Structure 1
Amino acid sequence: MTSPNLRLIDRLPAVRGRYTENAPLAGVTWFRVGGPADVAFRPADPDDLAAFLKAKPADVAVTVIGVASNLLVRDGGVAGVVIRLGRHFAAIERDETGLICGAGALDVNVSEAARRFELTGLEFLSGIPGTIGGALRMNAGAYGREIKDVLRWAEAITPQGEIKRLAPEEMGLSYRKSQVPTDWIFLRAALRAEPGNPAEIQARMDEIRSARSQSQPIRSRTGGSTFKNPPGEKAWQLIDAAGCRGLRMGAAQVSEQHCNFLINTGDATAGDLEALGEKVRRRVLAHSGIELEWEIKRIGRPQSEEAAS
């Protein structure tokens, strides 16, 4: 029986990576809000991660985050262990039919690597903030393409520390979601790309970056697209029609530039941002009869739960 006075970090197995107790998370999220992780873990490599998963106590929750570009961490922090994959999970290599990318590789770095290798088909990744792991989890897409359009295979590690290689058809990829179990952690992916003209590749990437900077509040503290587009509809149009452009709650605001983005204008809390999002959902439902679904992933405990624990 576990002693109630035993700290979580003392119950965790020895690792070659690094544990951090009561680890701040707000600074790594694009919103710049949220409470700490009970324990953060940066595994040294896939073997270290596998050993941790095999040996950790069964009752310890595990959450994986990337660069937190489409994530809202609640103010009470995240229970259990938060895993962040570092540089040993971010390699990008060329093979005969495209690129092999670590789950920790930034999407934009993958598109840049493809350009250097004179490969086309991955330019769309330059318009997606985040990592390949996150892109696999939500079948990320932009500017006419999605991960499922270029994916050859993905590797993930199970809670038991077993590595599985998955074909795209096994992953149940659809609009902004996959059917891969949520407790599996992506390790790497093979992406399809074709030989291309470097000047044309660069021109397409420049076009995507220009379009993104003109249409999205990329210099604000934001979390990317807040809600999924309902079938046959655009979330931003529904939000605009419901009168929510510029709507505020404390320092949380619906962007004037693109109203499917929430922004932190100063000292907003995660609670402010989430409450504003829910207010937008209610207004859209009342106006159009359509219930918006969150695209931003929300994790952790509200402040009241943290205070009570």
Structure 2
Amino acid sequence: MSATDTLPTVRGKLTAKAPLAPLVWFKSGGPADWLFEPQDADDLADFLRDLDPAVPVMALGLGSNLIVRDGGFPGVVVRLGKAFAKVEAIDATTLRCGGGASGILVSSTARDAGIAGMEFLRSIPGTVGGFVRMNGGAYGGEVKDILIDCDVVLRSGERKTLPLADLGYTYRHSELPEGAVVIGATFRGQSGEPAAIQAEMDRISASREASQPLRSKTGGSTFKNPDGHKAWKLVDEAGCRGFAVGGAQVSEKHTNFLINTGDATSADIEALGEEVRRRVKDKSGVELQWEIQRVGVAK
């Protein structure tokens, strides 16, 4: 698709050849053919309905668990803005959240409403849309424990509300259709004391700060934990702590994190991950699976 192709009329913002590196945590990768920031759900639904079905569509949240390859994304990247970032309590234990709301906003709103069970979202560096899609989790909780249903706009432009049972959740995976954009979700926790909820959020924040390279250009957890194993331990035992390819390095602080030390290309980061997978397989016989999504085309 070229920047001269005709696209459906929108009320939001459409940007051709939009740089994606500034929008992702790794700060690497090529541009999107188009970046679409819809004004509201109707704008998004109308656009997808009228868009050539052959054009790939990808939703982008905070860009944490993502490698955009150096050739960029050949299609439309959808980024949900403020119109999709609202969070409100709808009863004593339930929150209604926009797909663009951050985990920090959701957990803070839950605390203020006296809703426990969502503290773990404080530690997920992304938006509702992203962690609903991949059953995000940390510190003993995951999205499938709290999700009631989610609202999506399908690639066809059709809007649907999907209950938990329809999402086919497994570890860091859902059966959400390709090109579907999560625009909202309903989460349910249980009654709790705001002070106790805050204490748990503080504990999670401190643990995360102590163990993860949060000040670095990173992508979050790189590999899924295999059954019966911790990914970081397998990487460490394979001698990969601090190992580098180009400007990409396995974090010294947490070996399941890759970091961009300054000028890494996405090719460096992906090659590093593949070499780590090879070394772990040679050492332990375990085949690590990527948790970080890799999209786009190589340069």
| TM-score, length basis structure 1 | 0.94
The CA distance in 2 between the partners of 1:261 and 1:196, in whole Å, is: 33
1:12 matched to 2:7? The reply is: yes
Q: Which residue is 1:127 aligned to?
A: 123
Q: Which amino acid aligns with 1:126?
A: R
Match of 2:61 among 62, 66, 82: 66
Q: How many residues align?
A: 298
Poorly superposed stretches of 4+, deviation over 4 Å: none
Q: Which residue is 1:101 aligned to?
A: 97
Contact 1:11–1:57 (CA under 8 A) maintained in structure 2: no
The CA distance in 1 between the partners of 2:133 and 2:239, in whole Å, is: 32
1:75 matched to 2:75? The reply is: no
The CA distance in 2 between the partners of 1:38 and 1:159, in whole Å, is: 17
Residues 259 and 7 of structure 1, relative CA distance in 2, 3 Å threshold: closer
Q: Which residue is 1:307 aligned to?
A: none
1:294 matched to 2:290? The reply is: yes
The CA distance in 1 between the partners of 2:172 and 2:54, in whole Å, is: 29
1:208 matched to 2:204? The reply is: yes
Contact 1:152–1:168 (CA under 8 A) maintained in structure 2: yes
Q: Which residue is 1:39 aligned to?
A: 34
CA deviation profile, 1:111-133 (whole Å, cap 9, x unmatched): 01111112111111001100111
Percentage of matched positions with identical amino acids: 54
C-alpha displacement of 1:165: 1.1
- Describe the SS at the equivalent of 2:74: strand
Structure 2's unaligned 5+ residue stretches are none
Q: Within 5 Å, give how 1:169-208 maps onto structure 2.
A: 169-208=165-204
- Describe the SS at the equivalent of 2:219: strand
- Describe the SS at the equivalent of 1:50: helix
Q: Provide the alpha-carbon RMSD of the alignment.
A: 1.1
Q: Which residue is 2:274 aligned to?
A: 278
| TM-score, length basis structure 2 | 0.97
The CA distance in 1 between the partners of 2:230 and 2:178, in whole Å, is: 27
Q: Which residue is 1:168 aligned to?
A: 164
C-alpha displacement of 1:9: 4.8
Structure 1's unaligned 5+ residue stretches are 1-5, 304-309
Q: Which amino acid aligns with 2:108?
A: E
**59-68 or 285-294: bigger deviation:** 59-68
